[in-house]
A and B are shown apart, each in its own frame.
Chain A
Amino acid sequence: MYHGSGRASQESASASVPGAQAGDTVALDGLDLTVNEGEFFGIIGPNGAGKTTTIGVLTTRVLPTSGTARVAGADVVKNSVTVRQRIGVVPQRPNPDRSLDAWENLIYHAAYFGVPRREAARRATELLERLEISGKARMKVDQLSGGQQQRLMIARALIHEPIILFLDEPTVGLDPNARNSLWEILRELHGQGRTIVMTTHYMPEADELSDRIALIDRGQLLALDTPEKLKLQTPDGSLETFFIAKAGRGLDA
């Protein structure tokens, strides 16, 4: 299913979210990171670290106040429409179109991306099956459980065959079973060579899935390396300890 190749990179992106939703404001301060093609890239940090802002900038939903960010070959500000066409986004909380059923959520989303109807139907059938929610296709999305809605969000993010998939804390609020099966799906997608950028504040999740991890806090990059190399830097070999040493606070803070 995966055909594209590309890379997301963000250089010195500095973004601040205006206080429309109080408490969401996290300024990025000199965050430099480059995601390689085909890589599973984890961004980890506690609440308020700037994870969602980073994803927001990379997915064209937050305007950086300075710096540049390029995703899949296009600038997120100057060519936001091009970037949107090449990315898939799984939000922190499922936000399906509640006026449509699960099937229509996929079909109309595909239509927004110019996928012909017949091809969209073929891909929707395949994705629903692979994500094990075929039985829910004609149900209103409100009738789907949290985990099923999250899978629908993944199907929606994939139906236009994006070059890069962004997931913002995709397992928050899921029970352990749903989390495990989501991990399976993400491993499979990564195995097919897709570039994935995922944020989490759950260390085992980042450790389990990522090729490389960026530890961020208060909008700054604290460390960036493979999980193995990061773990080598602490006496007890745990990412958690490494983070506390770097940030001066734990991930749950």
Chain B
Amino acid sequence: MNSMSAAAPIASIEMLHPPVPAWRVFLALLSRDVRVARRELPFFLVRTIMQPMLFVIVFGYLLPKMGFTQAGYQAALLPGILALSLMLSSTQSVTLPMVTEFGWTKEIEDRLLAPISTDLVAVEKIVNAMIQGIIAALVVLPLARLVMGPVAGFTFSHVPELLIVVILSAAAASAFGLLLGVLISPQQIGFMFSLIITPMIFFGCAYYPWRGLDVVPWLKYAVLVNPLVYISEGLRASLTPSVPHMPFGAIVGALAVLTAGFTWAALFRFRKRAIG
């Protein structure tokens, strides 16, 4: 075992290089991600708004106008669209950078060499993605409301429930995004979209309430593996509570379990990839 030589007493090293508190390093990592997001704002908005808004125009405006939807459909659709924006934005804002930075350019390296635990580098990615997901939902809400016109049953009277759902949803979607980001290679991105993301979107109860699946019972239970189901139902329970939805407790419980599970798996895999 080596000991420090007399010429280099540990005390002097610590005076010249005092430990940096983890929260400061964490905030610096976050400010880097915010800087990058601000620079990419136009792309972010297109990526975030495009798909949900196209659905709003077709399903929330055109079809109702043509008389193909029943009264009240918009109340089921609006929270679903917000859920979709939140999930897609959270997931993509962490998955895509992770895939390239780990698998391609190795540029994650300078953050892995920052004086902070590797787990916190990963957690910072989740927090950043949560912020982006929540911003996406906040951008899409007024736009969707504008296109759809007045939505019967839409209310802001369940604020505590709304906050709980939004935060847990963003956390679940971001942790899921990190897990995908550390699992797949750059070559598999297209594959991921067609095989994972697209089915999640269509079977995520975004365009129809979960209770609507009573008519296809096997599907009603099969979709429960999909995190988007709980995000959509959670936003229905808090924004348009008159639409039949899952019990609030079940939604919160499922989102909490999914967040914990995804985070655990993502951190496990992140550590494996980060430290040889």
Quick one: which of B1-42 are within 8 Å of A by CB? 1-2, 4-5, 7-8, 10, 12-13, 16-17, 19-21, 24-25, 28-29, 31-32, 35-36, 39-40
Report B224 CB to chain A, min CB distance, Å.
Answer: 34
**Residue B276 contacts which of A18, A113, A114 (CB distance < 8 angstroms)?**
A18
Complex CA distance for A81 and B105, rounded to whole angstroms: 24
Q: A84-B113, A112-B28 are in contact. Are A68 and B19 (CB under 8 A)?
A: no
Complex CA distance for A84 and B159, rounded to whole angstroms: 43
Establish whether residues B24 and A73, one from each chain, have CB atoms under 8 Å apart when the complex forms: no
Establish whether residues B114 and A113, one from each chain, have CB atoms under 8 Å apart when the complex forms: yes
**Residue B107 contacts which of A11, A20, A70, A97 (CB distance < 8 angstroms)?**
A97
Q: A4-B13, A7-B4, A61-B112 are in contact. Are A95 and B106 (CB under 8 A)?
A: yes
Report A212 CB to chain B, min CB distance, Å.
Answer: 16
Q: Mark A83-115, 1 if CB is under 8 A from B, else 0.
A: 011110101010111111000110011011110
Establish whether residues B25 and A63, one from each chain, have CB atoms under 8 Å apart when the complex forms: no
**Residue A96 contacts which of B2, B21, B107, B276 (CB distance < 8 angstroms)?**
B107
Report A58 CB to chain B, min CB distance, Å.
Answer: 12
A-side contacts of B35, CB under 8 Å: 100, 104, 108
Establish whether residues B116 and A81, one from each chain, have CB atoms under 8 Å apart when the complex forms: yes
A-side contacts of B13, CB under 8 Å: 4-6, 72-73, 86, 163
**Residue A112 contacts which of B8, B115, B117, B273 (CB distance < 8 angstroms)?**
B115
Complex CA distance for A231 and B251, rounded to whole angstroms: 73
Q: A98-B107, A113-B20 are in contact. Are A73 and B8 (CB under 8 A)?
A: yes
Establish whether residues A89 and B113, one from each chain, have CB atoms under 8 Å apart when the complex forms: yes
B-side contacts of A59, CB under 8 Å: 113
- Measured as residues with beta carbon below 8 angstroms from the partner, the interface class of chain B is 35 or more
The main secondary structure of chain A at its interface with chain B is loop
Q: Mark B63-97, 1 if CB is under 8 A from A, else 0.
A: 00000000000000000000000000000000001
Establish whether residues A62 and B276, one from each chain, have CB atoms under 8 Å apart when the complex forms: yes
**Residue B115 contacts which of A63, A84, A95, A96 (CB distance < 8 angstroms)?**
A84
Establish whether residues A61 and B275, one from each chain, have CB atoms under 8 Å apart when the complex forms: yes
A-side contacts of B10, CB under 8 Å: 73
Establish whether residues B276 and A17, one from each chain, have CB atoms under 8 Å apart when the complex forms: yes
Report A12 CB to chain B, min CB distance, Å.
Answer: 10
Establish whether residues B109 and A95, one from each chain, have CB atoms under 8 Å apart when the complex forms: yes
A3 within 8 A of B: yes
B-side contacts of A87, CB under 8 Å: 113
A-side contacts of B275, CB under 8 Å: 60-63
Q: Mark A134-176, 1 if CB is under 8 A from B, else 0.
A: 0000000000000000000000100001010000000000000
Establish whether residues A73 and B109, one from each chain, have CB atoms under 8 Å apart when the complex forms: no
Known: A63-B276, A82-B19. 11 other contacts (CB 8 A): A4-B16, A5-B12, A7-B2, A81-B19, A85-B17, A87-B113, A89-B113, A91-B106, A112-B28, A112-B110, A113-B25
Interface residues of B (CB under 8 A from A): 1-2, 4-5, 7-8, 10, 12-13, 16-17, 19-21, 24-25, 28-29, 31-32, 35-36, 39-40, 97, 105-107, 109-117, 272-276
Interface residues of A (CB under 8 A from B): 3-7, 9, 11, 17-18, 20, 24, 34, 37, 53, 56, 59-63, 68, 70, 72-73, 81-82, 84-87, 89, 91, 93, 95-100, 104-105, 108-109, 111-114, 156, 161, 163
